[in-house]
Amino acid sequence: MKIILYLSDYVIPLTIFYIVGFGLLMKRPVYDDFVKGAKEGAKTVAGIMPTLVGLMVGVGVLRASGFLNTLSDFLGQW
């Protein structure tokens, strides 16, 4: 278990260094590629955000009304 904790501290930095190093070896404009990917990611987030907010509000309303508890009690009897 201790080795997993040790490895988990270094996985993300090593992945970032690997990606940057690989990009440099392939002579890619690493920063420009990063900025382009960040812009595409922001567009994706903006596209799915209304759906996610609607789902979270819907689940919150169902939980507050007690419907989900009633449904789980009903399904738990089966």
Sign of CA dihedral 52, 58, 64, 70: negative
pLDDT tens, 44-61? 999 999 999 999 999 999
- Whether residue 78 has pLDDT greater than 80: no
Question: Is residue 24 a contact partner of residue 31, using CB atoms and an 8 Å limit?
Answer: no
Q: Could you report the per-residue pLDDT of 4-51, keeping only the tens digit for each?
A: 888 888 999 999 999 999 999 999 999 999 999 999 999 999 999 999
